[in-house]
Amino acid sequence: MRWVACGYDGCNLPVRGRVVDSLAAVHIPSLIGRRGPQADHCGRMSVPADLPPLILRPRALADGYDDKEIARHRRSGVWSSVRRGAYVGSASAEALTRRSRHRLLIEATLSKLRRPAVVSHASAAVLHGLPLWSVPLTAVHVTRNPPAKSDSDRNLICHVCRLGPDEVTVVDGMAVTTPTRTILDLGRLIAFTPAVIAADDGLRRILTTREFLMTSLQDLIGTRGSRNAARVVQFADGRSESVGESRSRVVLAEAGLPAPELQVEVFAEGGFFLGRGDFGYRQQKVLGEFDGRVKYGRLLRPGQSAGDAVFDEKRREDAIRDAGWQLARWTWADLDVRGLVAARMQRALGRNRPT
């Protein structure tokens, strides 16, 4: 089991170290393998240790608290519940992001497991730092090899599926599916767009490669959701640099537009670099920009004001237009308006259609 002893926000528990983890020492080594570049980086994928210490009820009782005292701390707002029997100091809880809160929920949930399991799916994505747009984080996902039975509850979703030794790594002492397997599991379980967003990010950060995804996908053929995962892998592209760009790619594809080139650089006739667009159609000389700002590849110069930088960038954008390129722009809010982004891109393509 994983126990934490801490002193935090009015808690008098002595600080003896953040986590004492016998689970990793006993159960994890037999699960760990090495497939893909993620195995070489597992030590760097840990969530930063700036989370508030987790207070677990068994440890609190062992250190002299009783249930009445624990209840009093909760009622008075000194402690905030992460889940039943797990708390953090309330002052820190208010500043937690949903990812940070889920990270604590993972620790708290693992401490209650009677049998070891591997953190997987969205929970593994949190530990690997993969983006989770529009993905609920209310329960911890774990996976056990068959013939295990699911013991899910409102804080735990247990998947029963075979994991090979090369599909498990260690993050912060916890057994976790590798980035490759995590991306495939997301592709099998969640909607296409958020799965693509996670896959794009994993490829961009070289947590995995297309070759590793394709190889691992073969082991999942015939399992539930494997066709959806294959579609995600086929569409994923590590050149997408943000969640918005990945969403935009899906929107354009679903509208039936041809796949644009990504990160298109534009040069003047003399070879002078003018800018770089998120999306581009070179033949039609059309650039698409998710956030409406062409990336000019430069920082604010010493002594340059923000206003001067905006003016210079406007001049560069004019130069791009003078070079014969059309620009289509959209923002995050535009992506939520059905058909708007595709129509904007189609109009730009129409303006530069060869005669």
Give the C-alpha separation, 215 to 196, whole Å: 18
Predicted local distance difference test score (pLDDT) of residue 25? 30
What is the pLDDT confidence band of residue 148, given thresholds at 50, 70 and 90? confident
Concatenating the DSSP letter of every residue in 277-298 gives EEEEETTTTEEEESSS--B-S-
Tokens of 249: 């790619």
Predicted local distance difference test score (pLDDT) of residue 296? 54
- Phi then psi dihedrals of residue 16, to 5 deg: -120, 15
Same domain for 280 and 204, yes or no, is: no
What is the pLDDT confidence band of residue 26, given thresholds at 50, 70 and 90? very low
Same domain for 228 and 119, yes or no, is: yes
Of 204, 221, 238, the one marking the end of a domain is: 238
Same domain for 202 and 258, yes or no, is: no
Predicted local distance difference test score (pLDDT) of residue 24? 33
Give the residue-averaged pLDDT of 84-100.
Answer: 92
| pLDDT higher than threshold 80 for residue 303 | no
Same domain for 182 and 102, yes or no, is: yes
Same domain for 88 and 216, yes or no, is: yes
**Domains in the chain, number:** 2
Query: For residue range 155-209, what is the model confidence (pLDDT) as tens digits?
Result: 999 999 999 999 999 999 999 999 999 999 999 999 999 999 999 999 999 999 9
Domain range for 41: 2-238
Same domain for 73 and 191, yes or no, is: yes
What is the pLDDT confidence band of residue 21, given thresholds at 50, 70 and 90? very low
Same domain for 150 and 192, yes or no, is: yes
Same domain for 55 and 191, yes or no, is: yes
| pLDDT higher than threshold 60 for residue 31 | no
27 CB contacts (<8 Å, ≥6 apart)? 116, 175
Give the residue-averaged pLDDT of 30-44.
Answer: 35
- Phi then psi dihedrals of residue 142, to 5 deg: -135, 160
Same domain for 230 and 256, yes or no, is: no
Tokens of 115: 């049998």
Same domain for 160 and 250, yes or no, is: no
Give the C-alpha separation, 262 to 326, whole Å: 16
Same domain for 49 and 164, yes or no, is: yes
Q: Exposed (0-12), middle (13-18) or buried (19+): which is 251, by Cβ within 10 Å? A: buried
| pLDDT higher than threshold 60 for residue 33 | no
Which of 5-14, 67-76, 89-98, 261-270 has the weakest average pLDDT? 5-14
Of 217, 238, 259, the one marking the end of a domain is: 238
For the chain, the distance separating the N- and C-terminal CA atoms, rounded to the nearest angstrom, is 71
Give the C-alpha separation, 83 to 55, whole Å: 11
| pLDDT higher than threshold 70 for residue 321 | yes
Q: Is 193 in contact with 122 (CB distance < 8 Å)?
A: no
Query: For residue range 110-141, what is the model confidence (pLDDT) as tens digits?
Result: 999 989 999 999 999 999 999 999 999 999 99
Predicted local distance difference test score (pLDDT) of residue 191? 98
Query: For residue range 226-260, what is the model confidence (pLDDT) as tens digits?
Result: 999 999 999 999 999 999 999 999 999 999 999 99
Task: CATH number of the domain at 342, please.
Answer: 3.40.960
| pLDDT higher than threshold 50 for residue 28 | no
Q: Tell the residue number behind the tokens 């896959």, with chain if given.
A: 199
Amino acid at 292: G
What is the pLDDT confidence band of residue 17, given thresholds at 50, 70 and 90? very low
Of 188, 206, 238, the one marking the end of a domain is: 238
Q: Beta strand pairing status for 261-267 and 174-177?
A: unpaired
pTM for the model: 0.82
Q: Which residue has the higher pLDDT, 93 or 151?
A: 93
Give the C-alpha separation, 243 to 202, whole Å: 12
Same domain for 211 and 186, yes or no, is: yes
What is the pLDDT confidence band of residue 3, given thresholds at 50, 70 and 90? very low
